[in-house]
Structure 1
Amino acid sequence: MQRLPIIFGTFFKIGLFTFGGGYAMIPLIEREVIDRRGWVERREFLDLLTLAQSVPGPIAVNTAVFVGYRIRGLRGALAALTGTILPSFTIILLIALFFADIRQNPVVDAAFKGMRPAVVALIIGPVISLARGMHRTMFAVIAAAALAIWGLGWSPIYVLAGAAVAGMAWELAAAHRKGGTR
């Protein structure tokens, strides 16, 4: 059973050293909870990540909560949540207090501009990692969803709901073909 300070510390470290938002945190969470700590299996992490994307809120926070809950229940979820948001909250609070004074500083502006490409790379990394574990037919689903959202202007909520219904129907049909239920 994992100790709560270890869960808190792990997610605090992730929250402290991640720039670029939730998607940039996913590879760090993945590395810590799967590769380094062995708290969850890769397949289960993908399921938790899918669930985290499906509920309202920041994806990294949702993922941390689901992983924390998975490894230690409600207390684990609270430890992971607190560890994830505390660094960002503290940094944003400090920036808010002093940002007016440094906003026009060319060094600060250059630092933010320099971080942009790294943030993009941090977002692309988990996309490629997740794509490796997917069945080839899922790429057609991705293309159809992107076309529906960006090409046809459909609401992502309807696309997600439709994909959830289609996924359940697919699994039920597969279970029926095998002669049992899942």
Structure 2
Amino acid sequence: MSELFDLFKTFCRIGGLTFGGGYAMLPMLEKEVVENRKWATSEELLDYYAVGQTTPGIIAVNTATFIGYKVKGIMGALFATMGVVFPSLVIIMIIATSLQSFSKYEVVQNAFSGIRVVVAVLILNAIMKLWKNSVIDKAGIVIFALTFICGALLKISSIYMVISAAILGLIIKYRRNKD
């Protein structure tokens, strides 16, 4: 029961202190889940994150569910998921009841402008960590370039890109092992 509460508490802290969604959450997940708690390795976290992006739902919730399941099975998945959702639920309920009356104030608008800048930096940090841990050889650079072109220029669905990259990764790995 102590480990279940620890999952809830850890993901509650992550969910309550991360602004900007799943991408901005990656540095905090790395610190808490990999470095502090040792519930997963960096590679596992990136795998959970990648699968969390390709499955329906919110990346943060999906990732918390995967990690909770790894640590403590179905109950762990449930507690981690409840933990990451709980702060947002409380904050959204508070904001929903008061936002209409406060959103017209310039100080609130300026605060949101500042938060958006910080979120952009957090996302950039997450991208740099993903790059460092994922694009490690020429094949990774090729997959990155093709995916970037397909997403940014050709507007191809991310689902097709993830499936294609997975297949390409398997083919490359198979060919390396064959040689």
TM-score (norm 1): 0.90
* 1:52 matches 2:36: no
Paired position in structure 2 for 1:29: 29
Paired position in structure 1 for 2:62: 62
Task: Map 1:161-172 onto structure 2 (within 5 A).
Answer: 161-172=163-174
Shift in CA distance, 168/73, structure 1 to aligned 2, threshold 3 Å: same
Shift in CA distance, 171/2, structure 1 to aligned 2, threshold 3 Å: farther
Judging by fraction of residues, say which structure has more helix. Answer: 2
1:2 shift after superposition: 6.6
The secondary structure found in structure 1 opposite 2:12 is helix
The secondary structure found in structure 2 opposite 1:159 is helix
Task: Map 1:1-182 onto structure 2 (within 5 A).
Answer: 3-134=3-134, 135-137=136-138, 138-175=140-177, 177=178
CA distance in structure 2 between the partners assigned to 1:159 and 1:96 by the alignment: 36
1:140 shift after superposition: 2.2
The gaps in structure 2 that reach 5 residues or longer are none
- Tell me how large the CA RMSD over aligned residues is: 1.7
The secondary structure found in structure 2 opposite 1:115 is helix
* Equivalent pair of 2:103/2:109 in contact (CA under 8 Å): yes
* Equivalent pair of 2:9/2:83 in contact (CA under 8 Å): yes
Which segments of structure 1 move beyond 4 Å, counting only runs of 4 or more? none
* Equivalent pair of 2:54/2:159 in contact (CA under 8 Å): no
Q: Deviations over 1:153-181 (max 9, x none)?
A: 32222222212222233333344x17xxx
1:87 shift after superposition: 0.4
* Equivalent pair of 1:11/1:64 in contact (CA under 8 Å): yes
Matched pairs, number: 177
- Residue type at the aligned position of 2:7: I
TM-score (norm 2): 0.91
* Equivalent pair of 1:2/1:71 in contact (CA under 8 Å): no
Q: Deviations over 1:62-111 (max 9, x none)?
A: 11111111111111111110000110111111111111111101111111
The secondary structure found in structure 1 opposite 2:116 is helix
Q: Deviations over 1:22-47 (max 9, x none)?
A: 11111111100111111112222222
Sequence identity (%): 37
